[in-house]
Amino acid sequence: MAHIISIAQQKGGAGKTTVAAHLGVMLSEYGLKVTLIDVDPQQSLTQWFQIRRKLKHESVTPINFVTCDGEALRREIQHAQKDADFVIIDSPPHADKEARNAVKYADMVIIPMQPSPLDLWATQATIKMARQEKTPVKMVLNRVNPQANLSQKMQAEMKDMSLSLFGNRVAYATALLTGKGVSELEPSSAACREMELFADDILDYFGYDLEEVDDEAAYA
């Protein structure tokens, strides 16, 4: 049975699609079967995948992809679970029924946010929703300058929550424009290392043996 991860955040522009695409690619590179589901009406993840689908002669890892509305989400999850290790949902950027369903059906909710007070305040609605559904939460502080006072204050605000940090790196956006993940476009970059650590953290949470996963990835 697949693990369901919802990328959720009430505020738009926090990096939901960035996290969904790069995490999906990284898990796929580990030899795991991944299905991405785009429920966001903006369909940024769908646009990324349309570019990726044209890369027939380049080395990209296989990923299954679905675009649907909130009404069809449960059905698409049930279908994807039959042949996936992970299902990653890019949910709508507002706290409506569709966003709640994406949280309700998840085994983990990942909440990306930028180091700004507006993102911090907007995040509270998603955290509350996840707690109501009793779904574990992992925070991602995105586009971070680790030396900035504001970034340090944001980390302090979330000291009791599971937290990952992504630097303010051009590599993430550049990879998306090419239909790839950062691990495919720039495998030696700091951004790739950040995403690898993030994926390892998630795999560890779900009880995967990281050494076995690394061996399978090398064999693939």
pLDDT tens-place string over residues 40-72? 989 999 999 999 999 976 779 999 999 998 788
Please report how many Cα atoms fall inside a 13 Å half-sphere around the Cα of residue 45, on the Cβ side: 30
> What CATH number has the domain spanning 3-194?
3.40.50.300
26's CB contacts (< 8 A; 6+ apart) are 181, 183, 195, 196, 198, 199
| Start-to-end Cα distance in the chain | 22
pLDDT at 124: 85
pLDDT at 178: 95
139's CB contacts (< 8 A; 6+ apart) are 110, 111, 112, 113, 123, 158, 161, 162, 163, 164
Which residue in 133, 186, 139, 137 sits closest to 14, CA to CA? 139
- Which H or E element spans position 74? helix 73-80
Biggest CA pair distance of the chain: 46
Query: Bigger pLDDT: 35 or 143?
Result: 35
CA 11 to CA 158: how far, in whole Å? Answer: 17
- When mean pLDDT is compared across 102-106, 127-131, 147-151, 176-180, the lowest value belongs to 147-151
Residue 93: pLDDT band (50, 70, 90) is confident
Q: Is 116 helix (H, G, I), strand (E, B) or coil?
A: coil
Helices (H), 109-189: 117-132, 149-157, 170-177, 182-185
CA 188 to CA 45: how far, in whole Å? Answer: 24
Residue 155: pLDDT band (50, 70, 90) is low
Mean pLDDT across 173-180: 96
CA 124 to CA 92: how far, in whole Å? Answer: 16
pLDDT at 69: 83
Kindly report the pTM of this predicted structure: 0.89
CA 126 to CA 103: how far, in whole Å? Answer: 9
> Does residue 21 contact residue 133 with C-beta atoms inside 8 Å?
no
Handedness of CA 27, 28, 34, 40 (dihedral sign): positive
> Does residue 6 contact residue 92 with C-beta atoms inside 8 Å?
no
